A and B are shown apart, each in its own frame.
Chain A
Amino acid sequence: MTKIKSLADLKKMKSDLQSKISLREKSENPEGKVVIRVGMGTSGIASGAKEIMEFLMEETEKRNVDAIVTQTGDMGYSYAEPTVEVKLPDQDPVVFGDVDKKKADNIIEKYIKNGELLDGIIPQNYETIDKK
């Protein structure tokens, strides 16, 4: 592949990019997307959240999982960083703690693809105790 160095180079690659994107868009419907959010607070970053987010972005793309991978602020679970929140379509979000690459792999293969629950889920009611 030719190297892209300037905006002009980028413009030249536009049609190539567009074809790659439109291929995927055919299968897209916004409600059917999985939303994955990686906690990117100080403690998350220090525990390797960046690598986990890059892993999730690459692997969901490679394995054809229709997902949006994005970052979020601190979720307040500093003891369990990196944390990853996964929202499957029509389901409540689930937060996974202490996520390394192996666990991230399981999240994609087991939870997202098959709906199997995994160890290390942070119970949802954990933060709502204060609010009640």
Chain B
Amino acid sequence: MKDLSLHILDIVQNSIRAGARNVGIDIREDTRANTYGITIKDDGCGMDAEAVKRVTDPYFTSRTSRHVGLGIPLFLQNAQQTGGDLQIESVPGKGTRIKAVFVHDNIDRPPLGDMPGVLMMLIGSNPAIEFSYRHSKNGQEYLFDTREVKEALDGMSLEEYQVRKYLKEMIQENLQELNAL
């Protein structure tokens, strides 16, 4: 994966396949503690303790079409390369939380990449799922929530190309401002 947003796109596919109705993506940058945390939380079907232990194994997958699943192993490897780590908590029937922490200034930490594009892709393709995105940097934060957006747009479909374009721009503006800090 070239950047962190693509990892997020990939990991959220697991949440979608787990039947999640709500997906939360939380990015916390702290340059003082030198951490770059990414948490992805869903209320999908969850996994038992045995499965949680095995998902970091490339030869484990819940899919039946193939016998390898590399999404989580690649994310873990990337975090570890910077000196960080990845944790998974899951409760069957309740949901799953994956938290990866990267070392912020490590040269191996990939850039965030096109997060607004990834968000709009996820939102536009999964109208039944509510997404929230929180991005904080040293205490300043930007929050995006599909519920709020839907309310503001008064029933206009987020699948519409034009709507997506505007939303993408809105997220981009806010992230740029956050990044300038």
Which residue numbers of A lie inside 8 Å of B, CB to CB?
A: 3-11, 13-14, 17-18, 20-21, 40-43, 45-46, 50, 53-54, 57, 61, 68, 70-71, 73-76, 78, 127
Contact = CB atoms under 8 A, between A and B. Distances in A.
Contact of A5 (B124, B163, B173): B173
Contacts of B70: 42-43
Interface string B63-86: 101100111001000000000000
A74 B17 CA distance: 10
Nearest to B2: A46
Given A73-B16, A76-B66, A10 B152 contact: yes
B13 A40 contact: yes
B163 A17 contact: yes
A42 B170 contact: no
Contacts, number: 90
A70 B124 contact: yes
A54 B117 contact: yes
A14 B156 contact: yes
B166 A13 contact: yes
Contacts of A11: 152-153
Q: Is the contact region of chain B dominated by helix, strand, or loop, or is it mixed?
A: helix
The 4 A-B residue pairs with the shortest CB-CB distance, nearest first, are A76-B65, A71-B125, A7-B152, A70-B125
Q: Which of A6, A54, A61, A74 gathers the greatest number of chain B CB atoms within 10 Å?
A: A74
A61 B148 CA distance: 26
A43 B68 CA distance: 11
Contact of B121 (A42, A46, A53): A53
Given A21-B160, A45-B9, A73-B16, 9 more contacts: A5-B174, A7-B148, A14-B153, A14-B154, A21-B156, A42-B10, A43-B70, A53-B121, A71-B121
Interface residues of B, number: 39
Nearest to B70: A42
A91 to B, nearest CB: 22
28 contacts: A4-B166, A4-B173, A5-B173, A6-B170, A8-B152, A10-B153, A10-B167, A14-B156, A17-B156, A17-B160, A17-B166, A21-B162, A40-B9, A41-B13, A42-B69, A42-B70, A45-B1, A50-B117, A50-B121, A53-B121, A70-B125, A73-B16, A73-B63, A74-B66, A75-B65, A76-B65, A76-B66, A127-B65
